[in-house]
A = this chain, B = another copy of it.
Amino acid sequence: MQTAPAAPVRFVPRETALRTPSAPAAVSTLCSTCHLKDLCLPCGLTGSDVQRLDGLKFARRRVKEGEALYHEGDRFQFVYAVRSGTFKSTLNLKDGREQVTGFQIAGELLGLDGLASGKHASSAIALEDTEICAIPYAHLTELATVSPDLHIAMSRMMSREIVREHGLMMLLGSMNAEQRLAAFLLNVSQRLKARGYSATEFHLRMMRVDIGSYLGMKLETVSRTFTAFQQQGLLKVDKKHVKILDLEGLQAIFDGQVH
């Protein structure tokens, strides 16, 4: 994850997925030649299954910083795979605030929550300029009837999302501010590492208020907790730039060994 030039766009235009694509012509993509194939949907599939996926020729699309890939309530047609960049998934609260339910980076899927009701249950907002693959769900389902392995891969993806949310519930239900932020940083670190980036130095793409929403705390508390970690010598922070100095120390906090 390297620094990207910040785009000025801050508003979130109402735009239905792929109806008004940012790029004039959609570029199609093959899973078999994708550098993310070991992290993304094709992970664990055999060559013939991946070739079947190739047959779908997923449309590629760019989503600029601040724009929405889809909004809560939009019709569910596609599952999306992040090719590059970072998204946040959000729910609209009744009082107008938003609740962040997750952050997605390269190789991760977006939109699986839309299947339940046929409408997206959350919005996906780009936190920087991004590129995604749009995977037509109907076609994917068709393929899954031919390939049991693909069916299993899809189910596993969804199950993984359930497990991820379990972990988050644990976090929100039973941990204090330091444990939550430690958990968050360790999680980011580990995901970046899996993608070949540094596990200890990175730019957070989201604002304090987003981290706070995700972790169930106020942005000021996030900021104070960063400062506290820095004072404990666990990391160095400068706004969005984080350098972790003591991964085990963070882990110990997460594990509740430090009070």
Name A's B-contacting residues (CB within 8 A).
91, 93-95, 97, 99, 101, 112-117, 121-122, 141-142, 144-146, 148, 151-152, 154-156, 158-163, 165-166, 168-170, 172-174, 213-216, 255-256
**A159 and B116 contact, Cβ closer than 8 Å, known pairs A169-B99, A170-B99, A255-B94:** yes
Cross-chain contact A148 with B156 (CB below 8 angstroms): no
**A169 and B170 contact, CB distance less than 8 A:** no
Given contacts A213-B173, A216-B172, A256-B94, contact A113 B148 (CB under 8 A): no
Rounded to whole Å, the gap between the CB of A41 and the closest CB of chain B is: 14
Further contacts, 12 of them, CB under 8 A, given A144-B144, A151-B151: A91-B166, A91-B169, A93-B174, A97-B174, A116-B160, A121-B163, A122-B166, A141-B148, A145-B151, A158-B158, A158-B162, A172-B173
Task: Find A170's partner among B91, B113, B117, B155 (CB 8 Å cutoff).
Answer: B91
A216: chain B residues within 8 A (beta carbon): 172-174
- Give the distance in Å from the alpha carbon of A99 to the alpha carbon of B179 in the complex: 15
In the complex with contacts A94-B255, A99-B170, A173-B213, A151-B156 CB distance below 8 A: no
* A159 neighbours in B (Cβ, 8 Å): 112-116, 158
Work out how many copies of this chain go into the complex: 2
Name the CB-closest residue of B to A213: B173
The CB with the most chain B CB atoms within 10 A, among A93, A148, A166, A213, is that of: A166
User: Is the CB–CB distance between A155 and B115 below 8 Å?
Assistant: yes
Contact B173 A214 (CB under 8 A): yes
- Chain B residues within an 8 Å CB radius of A113: 159, 162-163, 166
Complex contacts, A154 vs chain B, CB 8 Å: 155
- Chain B residues, Cβ within 8 Å of A156: 115-116
Shortest Cβ gap from A145 to chain B (Å): 5
CA distance A95 to B166 in the complex (A): 17
CA distance A19 to B92 in the complex (A): 45
A141 and B145 contacting across the interface, CB-CB below 8 Å: no
Supposing A155-B154, A158-B155 touch, asked if A169 and B172 sit within 8 A by C-beta, the answer is yes
Instruction: Give, as a whole number of angstroms, the nearest-CB distance from A213 to chain B.
Output: 7
In the complex, are the beta carbons of A112 and B165 less than 8 A apart? no
**A146 — which chain B residues lie within 8 A by C-beta?**
145
A122 to B165, alpha carbons, bound, how many Å? Answer: 12
